[in-house]
Amino acid sequence: MKSLKNVVWLLLPVVLCSFNLSAQNKNDKKNKDAVADTVKKAPAKTGITDKIKGSAKSEGLFTLYLDTAKGTMQLYIKKDQLGKEFIYQSFSMGGPTSLFLNQNMIRTTWVFKIKKSYDKLEFSQVNTNFWYDPANAVSKAADVDVAESVFYADKIVAEDAGGYLVAVDGLFLSDKLDQVKPILPPTVPPGAVFNLGNLNAGKSKYSNLRSYPNNTDVVVDLAYDNPAPLNGGGKDITDARYTRVRMQHSFLEMPKNDFRPRFDDPRVGYFSQEVDNLTTVKVADYKDVINRWNLVKKDPSAAVSEPVEPIVWWVENSTPVEYRQTIVEAGEKWNEAFEKAGFKNAVVMKIMPDTASWDPADIRYNVIRWVSSPYPQYGAIGPSFVNPRTGQILGADITVEWRSGSSTPVFDDLFNSAPSADAPEKLLTDIKGKAHFCSMATELKAQYAAGMSMAEMMGAGSSEIKEMHKQFLYYLILHEMGHTLGLNHNMKASIMLSPAEVNNKEITHKIGLQGSVMDYPAINVSNDRSKQGDYYTTKVGPYDIWAIQFGYTPFAPSEEKNGIDKILSRSTDPQLAFGNDADDMRSPGNGIDPRVMINDMSNDMITYAKDRFILVNTMMGKLKDKYSKPGQSYAELRNRYGLLVNQRVIMANGVSRYIGGVYVDRSFIGQNSPNKPFTVVPKEKQKKAMEVLSTYVFAPNAYAADSYLFPYMQMQRRGFNFFGSPEDYKPQSTALGVHQTILAQFFHPTTLTRINNSGLYGNTYSVAEVLNDLTKAIFDADLKTSVNLYRENLQTEYVKGLSNVVNALPAAGYDNASKAAAYNALKKIKTSLATAASPDEQTKAHRAYISFMIEKALAVK
């Protein structure tokens, strides 16, 4: 796709070159005196004209001279540009996805300056982390002990009256601007992560240049050589010895406008630039500014006005034709929120014509694009890049992995670790660095595919499924676009309505199904087809409208504080509930408020989850009839089965967080919130969660509905590939996975110590009582009978978990009360096993083993 553009680019600057060079000569004549003066002062310098012979000129913010024979480049810096601040933004434009070098990834942003030092030009990064109040005398000592960071310096090649020419191959054909090759901690074993090797400057080259009055883009192809690769990478790596990475370096002028930064507030979720105030002694007096677009009313006196410059989005011509209209509609839905903030048509959606002559990588265009990469690292991503000084969003892109947006469930992704995962998750996090990743599309895809399967089995026709897919796509675009407007996640938004209300279209069409589209919701499938409402919300919710009002309502400087305070005072409204990823509970031990969770729905998740468990178990019985189609393998059946199992994991996770949970309220003092900042989840609710887990996750018959499917769980053979293990289905692993996930939450030191700590401010469900109820749920039902394989695994894992708590080293973080409770639970299990009836040999063996484990655990000194 890009190679054609390169050809176009190679032709274009040559044409520009002759025109611009003659213009340059005219200017030289005009500035004759000034030139003569400079020559006198700097006699050693050869004239610029000599040095740029045979070069194509790309004139703009920085003027680029590319030697069309040698492929080397020089940069012309105007003298009045010295000392000024500019913005640098890097994008990866294609490279190993396992290193997050995918196409159009927005990477590093910083502010930099260029200065002359002796006979060189120095390029240095500016530290934007601090703010000094100019009224405070301390500000005279601003930036003390803030280390200067010079990333490039090179000799001035030539000089004229207006500026300097400097060679920049060392800057661009290198890792100096953005660290492309990840620097991994020494603890990472060799070969654990795909390694690019060393940069080969000789094989690296410029591939595209774009220069405009306010910005300059330099696209380079960097070549890396690794003569002896230990890790061959995935299928996307053609040959691990030679890997090329395409990077785009964009330089932007500091925007010249009167954009006033808006300060961040903990009650609303915006991405922000963190800035420390070094001239204050007040607590939490941060100067963090939110990321937002520069919207200015055309008619400042009108209550609602069009903006001078709207936020224009282009749906790239790579987008499947059948999705385009839906995307345009979904994007325009954000205008409802902007209208409440005083702007009409703030978001404008356009479709990129097939004949368009502009490059979608041009940062002046905000583009929604569809791609299909070999190993997608995200389902969809909606990043933006901003001025670090003010938070002003300067551009954004949305990239959707086509396989996320398609109606085909890609199931093995859900269970087998992603094929590109040649690095453990923690390493990937290191590599990803600061980038904001949104895994929403991946979660949404799993939800959508499961929901579609269940709806089909309940008799939904093709038009209904089409509508469901449309709602899915709507949600995806609404969500990703929300990120590009500055909003971060709101994982609390799905609690707006009750389980009965979520299927009431009168309500959901009016205010939405959720408070915000920035959540990752469970697909809303009713167990009763006649009552089915919307599957996904198709409009921005009350929180989204409020958040846009906070971020975008224009105020006169004198009215700003009062105006914003008035908006923020509404944060106690339950429809505006907010909690972002920092608080969310998706991983065991993370977060504390069970309502701030992904893949949940309604203000009564325990009831909602119970209904979903029942639905999944009922649908299991219909699965084979519906998805065994003559003439095809059992791959689809296996896929659909996994989607239903995944629903169980998701629901169990959501429910488990209520045990030991603490509700959070972030309202400020004086807002008259009925809640304290921390309120323990009522014991009755915690017990109800335990009951649901006991019945639908831990009970001996929890997976009884699945058994008939096991003989059909066959993968479709492909070459010699059975994904690393024999092809027979392993049902015990699936159930074990569910159990391990839930036990990990219970046994996490953060969970157990929180249960104890919250006992000092209202929690009456002690760790001892929680473990007692768990022991009952995991052992009682089959004390007098045989123990089936699922329960054998569950009981063994549970005893292992308890033993780990009892024998944990202090560094693990368990408190004394948790250890005591785990110790007592083990003793009780041992006692009850002593009198248990074991009707068969396997059960006897299992119990003997459990007793042995307990004895061992209790005997450790």
Positions in the binding site for Zn ion (CB under 5 A): 438, 440
Contacts of 450 (CB under 8 A, 6+ apart): 523, 643, 644, 646, 647
CA distance 305 to 311: 14
Question: Among residues 271 and 627, whose Cβ is nearest to Zn ion?
Answer: 271
Q: How far is the CB of 285 from Zn ion (least distance, A)?
A: 30
Question: Among residues 219 and 493, whose Cβ is nearest to Zn ion?
Answer: 493
Q: What pairing do the DSSP bridges indicate for beta strands 105-117 and 86-94?
A: antiparallel
Quickly list DSSP for 385-421. EE-TTT-BEEEEEEEEEHHHHSSS--THHHHSPPTT-
* Contact in structure between 805 and 747 (CB atoms under 8 Å): yes
Amino acid (1-letter code) at residue 368: I
Report residue 790 CA to chain centroid gap. Answer: 35
Amino acid (1-letter code) at residue 13: P
Question: Among residues 271 and 608, whose Cβ is nearest to Zn ion?
Answer: 271
Question: Among residues 347 and 652, whose Cβ is nearest to Zn ion?
Answer: 347
Question: Among residues 400 and 742, whose Cβ is nearest to Zn ion?
Answer: 400
Question: Among residues 71 and 433, whose Cβ is nearest to Zn ion?
Answer: 433
Q: In Å, what is the CA distance from 209 to each residue of 8, 69, 356?
A: 11, 16, 18
Question: Among residues 514 and 775, whose Cβ is nearest to Zn ion?
Answer: 514
Q: How far is the CB of 471 from Zn ion (least distance, A)?
A: 17
DSSP structure class, residue 487: B
Q: How far is the CB of 591 from Zn ion (least distance, A)?
A: 16
Tell me the β-bridge partners of 208. 219
Q: How far is the CB of 820 from Zn ion (least distance, A)?
A: 42
Question: Among residues 440 and 623, whose Cβ is nearest to Zn ion?
Answer: 440
Q: How far is the CB of 392 from Zn ion (least distance, A)?
A: 21
SS3 160: coil
CA distance 679 to 582: 19
Amino acid (1-letter code) at residue 853: M
* Contact in structure between 756 and 764 (CB atoms under 8 Å): no
Rg over alpha carbons for the chain, rounded to the nearest Å, is 31
What is the 3 state secondary structure string of 13-76?
A: HHHHHHHHHHHHHHHHHHCHHHHHHHHHHCCCCECHHHHCCCEEEECCCCEEEEECCCCCEEEE
Q: Which two tokens stand for residue 289?
A: 């500014």
The CA-CA-CA angle for residues 71, 77, 82, to 5°, reads 145
Q: How far is the CB of 536 from Zn ion (least distance, A)?
A: 14
End-to-end, the C-alpha distance of the chain in Å comes to 66
* Chain position whose Cβ is nearest to Zn ion: 438
Q: In Å, what is the CA distance from 92 to each residue of 222, 244, 245, 398?
A: 11, 11, 8, 14
Q: How far is the CB of 261 from Zn ion (least distance, A)?
A: 24
CA distance 430 to 183: 9
Q: How far is the CB of 518 from Zn ion (least distance, A)?
A: 7
Residue 598 φ/ψ, nearest 5 degrees: -90, 160
Question: Among residues 438 and 547, whose Cβ is nearest to Zn ion?
Answer: 438
Question: Among residues 438 and 806, whose Cβ is nearest to Zn ion?
Answer: 438
Q: How far is the CB of 647 from Zn ion (least distance, A)?
A: 21
Question: Among residues 337 and 458, whose Cβ is nearest to Zn ion?
Answer: 337
Q: How far is the CB of 492 from Zn ion (least distance, A)?
A: 14
Quickly list DSSP for 559-577. GHHHHHHHHHGGGGSGGG-
* Contact in structure between 56 and 68 (CB atoms under 8 Å): yes
Which long-range contacts (C-beta less than 8 Å, at least 24 apart) are formed by 762-765? 762/679, 762/680, 763/660, 763/680, 763/683, 764/683, 765/659, 765/660, 765/683, 765/686, 765/687
Q: Which two tokens stand for residue 217?
A: 């883009």
Element (H, E) at 242: strand 242-253
Question: Among residues 268 and 440, whose Cβ is nearest to Zn ion?
Answer: 440
Quickly list DSSP for 337-381. HHHHTTBSS-EEEEE--TT--S-TTSTTSEEEEEE--SS-S-SEE
CA distance 417 to 351: 36
Question: Among residues 513 and 616, whose Cβ is nearest to Zn ion?
Answer: 513
**Number of residues in the chain:** 861
Q: How far is the CB of 449 from Zn ion (least distance, A)?
A: 19
Q: What pairing do the DSSP bridges indicate for beta strands 366-371 and 311-315?
A: parallel
Q: How far is the CB of 401 from Zn ion (least distance, A)?
A: 14
Q: How far is the CB of 590 from Zn ion (least distance, A)?
A: 17
Q: How far is the CB of 490 from Zn ion (least distance, A)?
A: 10
Q: How far is the CB of 438 from Zn ion (least distance, A)?
A: 3
Amino acid (1-letter code) at residue 589: G
Question: Among residues 520 and 798, whose Cβ is nearest to Zn ion?
Answer: 520
Is the dihedral angle over the CA atoms 288, 292, 298, 299 positive or is it negative? negative
Number of C-beta neighbours around residue 335 at 10 A: 19
Q: How far is the CB of 502 from Zn ion (least distance, A)?
A: 21
Question: Among residues 315 and 440, whose Cβ is nearest to Zn ion?
Answer: 440
Amino acid (1-letter code) at residue 129: N
DSSP structure class, residue 460: -
Number of C-beta neighbours around residue 459 at 10 A: 8
Q: How far is the CB of 508 from Zn ion (least distance, A)?
A: 21
Q: How far is the CB of 291 from Zn ion (least distance, A)?
A: 14
Question: Among residues 440 and 651, whose Cβ is nearest to Zn ion?
Answer: 440
Question: Among residues 476 and 568, whose Cβ is nearest to Zn ion?
Answer: 476
Tell me the β-bridge partners of 46. 158
